Structure 1
Amino acid sequence: MNKPEILAPAGNLEKLKTAILFGADAVYLGGSKLNLRAFADNFSDEELKEGIEFAHSRGKKVYVTVNVFPRNEDLDGLDYYILQLYNLNVDAIIVSDPGIIMTAREVAPDLEIHLSTQANNVNWKSALFWHKQGVKRIVLARELSIEEIKEIRAKLPSDCELEAFVHGSMCMSYSGRCVISNYMTGRDANRGQCAQPCRYKYSVVEEKRPGQYFPIVEDDRGTYLFNSKDMCMIEHIPELVDSGIDSFKIEGRMKSSYYAASVVKSYREALDSYFENPKGYSFKEEWMDNLLKTSHREYYTGFYFGDKNNIIYENSSYIRDYDIVGIVRGYDKSSGEAIIEQRNKIFEGDIVEVLRPIGKNYNIKLENLRDEDGNKINATPVAQMIYRAKVNEEVEENYMLIKAASKK
């Protein structure tokens, strides 16, 4: 068995570093143009250079999305941009448009190309076609079952890699190729500007109602007809490995650093545990506990097993039981004090949970809070302020502190 890669989203430089520190083998991100997350922070050229150096120094990879469906004006400067990415030493670009693939082959023939899920690859012959065009890896459409993936794997040469989403938001349209956003808001989902109208509340009216197939809630509140659940395959690591997928992809470039840390940690530990002892492997509830704490919609298994329980009709909000409250920036062993960067307000005496890259979570109590000038404080009201706190257990740099969200 080849051990699959854990591929994590990186919406900005902090998320890139977090994902790698918590166990990702590779990250994917958007550069300064032509990616499908126009409203993410994305990376400046300087940040991209720093992120690549950070990843490569730790033996990890960086893939850059160039996965829009470009209009004519988007092609201006394309060859220069691809050459720039090549010179920055990115490990691959993720592409959906044949014109961009052709341009990459012309200006940077040694640059590795991955075919985006936006290209809707759902069969082995299509995958073979793209592979013959110089594509090293196929990012499979989300609509495939586990059995279909096995067949694709069996009929492709071994040097054609397969990547598949295993966790995160699902799109109501075909692998993300959506026109509703453009139609309703003028924001083109296929050029990175999706307004997510699938999460809006709708009321459906039809004249005679023959053959109603969806359980529409019939009241004055309308219904969330297109609002998909989130995919979660953490309980099915053996099946995913057996299917021959080379890279387990986590969705979420718009999500938080806490999301990146928690999800990567769970999949890293589950995958490592399986490969340590495939025959004796057993699922640990702590992996799911981490995934349930971070912001998410209800979970299901996507199209892998034909799960039909896939829509949330009641609302479009996230389940958010825990918040990140701080990131450890240092620890003074002599005084037993943690140096913490604030991410949400905490109070003197609060008990918080420590999320670390390796090992089970544990609780610590934050006492004797002091600001950077050494003044005693009772709370941390200023965003990203640095403060010190006496803690009853040792912590390390980059550990995350999380706390149950307050119920309103």
Structure 2
Amino acid sequence: MNKPEILAPAGNLEKLKTAIKFGADAVYLGGSKLNLRAFADNFTEEQLAEGVMYAHKYGKKVYVTINVFPHNSDLVGLEEYLKHLYEIGVDAIIVSDPGIIMTAREVVPDLELHLSTQANNVNWKSAVFWHKQGVKRIVLARELSLKEIKEIRNKIPETCELEAFVHGSMCMSYSGRCVLSNYMTGRDSNRGQCAQPCRYKYYLMEEKRPGQYFPVFEDDKGTYILNSKDLCMIEYIPELVEAGITSLKIEGRMKSSYYVATIVKSYRQALDSYMDNPKEYKFQKKWLENLMKVSHRIYYTGFYFGDPNKQIYETSSYIRNYDIVGIVKKYDKETNIATIEQRNKILNGDEVEVLRPEGDNFKVKLNNMKNEKGEPIDSAPVAQMIFKSEINKELNKDDMLIKSKNK
């Protein structure tokens, strides 16, 4: 069995570095043009060049999304943009439009092409077609079962790679092809501006009864009839590997660095454990428990096992059990003093968990908090303020401090 890569989202440069530190083999991100996350931070040309250099320093890869469905005006400057990506060493571009694919093959023929999930590839003949057009990797549509993926793998050339989403938000439309946002808000999801109206709560109103709203009942669970659950395949690593998937993809370019760190670490630990000894592999509950801490909707396994319950109707809200409260900037072993950058309000005496790339989370208590002037403080309420605290366990630079919202 070939070991799949773990592919992580990188909404900005900080998240790129976080993903790599916590075990990602590759990251995917949006540059300055033509990507489907127009409201993410995305990367300037300078940041992208820095990100590529950082990733390559650690032997990791960077894939850039150019996966919109472009109108004529979107194509202006495409050739120059593709040449720039190639020149700074981007490892591949993720594409969905035949015109962009054709242009890439003409102006940067050596730049690797990955077919976006937006292209809705759900059968082996389509995979072979795209492979013949110069596409090296197919990012499979989310609507496939493991059985179908195995069949695709068995019927396509070995030189054609398969990538599949294994974790994160799902879309009620066919692998992202949706016009609901455009229709309701004027923001085109196929050009990177989705307003997510599928998460709204809907009612019916009859034209002769204005102001009388009737709930839309899908069943007795509620009325969020378009709102999907979140995908989570952490418990099925063996099945994903055995299906012949080349890359395990995590959704979430709009999510936090804490989200990226936690999800990547759990999948890294699970995959490494399985590949080290497939016969003796046992799923560890701590991997799922950590995934439950980050912001998420109710988890399910999507289409992988033919589950007929595709959506959730109770609520559109996220479950948020933990917050990131600080990033360790340095730790003095002699004084046991940690210098911390605040990320959410934290109180003197709070007990927090420490999240780092290696090992299990552990708990520490923040004592004798002081501001940068050395004055005692009861809390750190100001965004990204630097404060110091006495902590009796040794911490590392860039350790994340997280705190349960129930305490």
Q: CA deviation at 1:392?
A: 1.7
Q: Per the alignment, in what secondary structure is the counterpart of residue 307 of structure 2?
A: coil
Q: What aligned pairs does 1:391-406 form with structure 2 within 5 A after superposition?
A: 391-406=391-406
- The amino acid of 1:187's aligned partner reads R
Partner of 2:58: 58
Structure 2 distance, partners of 1:204, 1:65, is 38
| Count of matched residue positions in the alignment of Structure 1 and Structure 2 | 399
Partner of 1:309: 309
Unmatched runs of 5 consecutive residues or more in structure 1: 208-213
Q: Is the 8 A contact 1:178 1:189 kept in 2?
A: yes
Q: CA deviation at 1:251?
A: 0.3
Structure 1 distance, partners of 2:205, 2:348, is 54
- For 1:349-404, what per-residue CA distance to the aligned partner results, in whole angstroms no more than 9, with x for missing partners? 11100111110100001111122222222211111111111112111111110001
Partner of 1:334: 334
Q: CA deviation at 1:286?
A: 0.4
Q: Is the 8 A contact 1:300 1:309 kept in 2?
A: no
- The amino acid of 2:71's aligned partner reads R
Structure 1 distance, partners of 2:156, 2:357, is 35
Partner of 1:242: 242
Q: Per the alignment, in what secondary structure is the counterpart of residue 136 of structure 1?
A: strand
Partner of 2:233: 233
Structure 2 distance, partners of 1:204, 1:245, is 43
Partner of 2:170: 170
Structure 2 distance, partners of 1:181, 1:347, is 41
Partner of 2:390: 390
Partner of 2:184: 184
Q: CA deviation at 1:162?
A: 0.4
Structure 1 distance, partners of 2:147, 2:69, is 30
Q: Per the alignment, in what secondary structure is the counterpart of residue 397 of structure 1?
A: coil
TM-score, normalisation: structure 1? 0.95
Are residue 26 (structure 1) and residue 64 (structure 2) matched? no
Q: What aligned pairs does 1:25-104 form with structure 2 within 5 A after superposition?
A: 25-104=25-104
Q: Per the alignment, in what secondary structure is the counterpart of residue 127 of structure 1?
A: helix
Q: CA deviation at 1:216?
A: 2.1
Structure 2 distance, partners of 1:113, 1:308, is 33
Q: Per the alignment, in what secondary structure is the counterpart of residue 105 of structure 2?
A: helix
Q: Per the alignment, in what secondary structure is the counterpart of residue 190 of structure 2?
A: helix
Partner of 1:325: 325
TM-score, normalisation: structure 2? 0.96
Partner of 1:216: 218
Single out whichever of 191-200 and 397-406 deviates more from structure 2: 397-406
Partner of 2:210: none
Are residue 356 (structure 1) and residue 350 (structure 2) matched? no
Q: CA deviation at 1:223?
A: 1.2
Q: Is the 8 A contact 1:370 1:389 kept in 2?
A: yes
Moved over 4 A (4+): 204-207
- The amino acid of 1:388's aligned partner reads K
- The amino acid of 1:101's aligned partner reads I
Structure 1 distance, partners of 2:329, 2:63, is 28
Q: Per the alignment, in what secondary structure is the counterpart of residue 346 of structure 2?
A: coil
Structure 2 distance, partners of 1:377, 1:59, is 43
- For 1:294-334, what per-residue CA distance to the aligned partner results, in whole angstroms no more than 9, with x for missing partners? 00000000000011233221210000010000111111111
Partner of 1:202: 202
Q: CA deviation at 1:406?
A: 4.7
- The amino acid of 1:216's aligned partner reads E
Are residue 372 (structure 1) and residue 385 (structure 2) matched? no
- Cα RMSD over matched residues? 1.6
Are residue 291 (structure 1) and residue 252 (structure 2) matched? no
Q: Is the 8 A contact 2:7 2:25 kept in 1?
A: yes
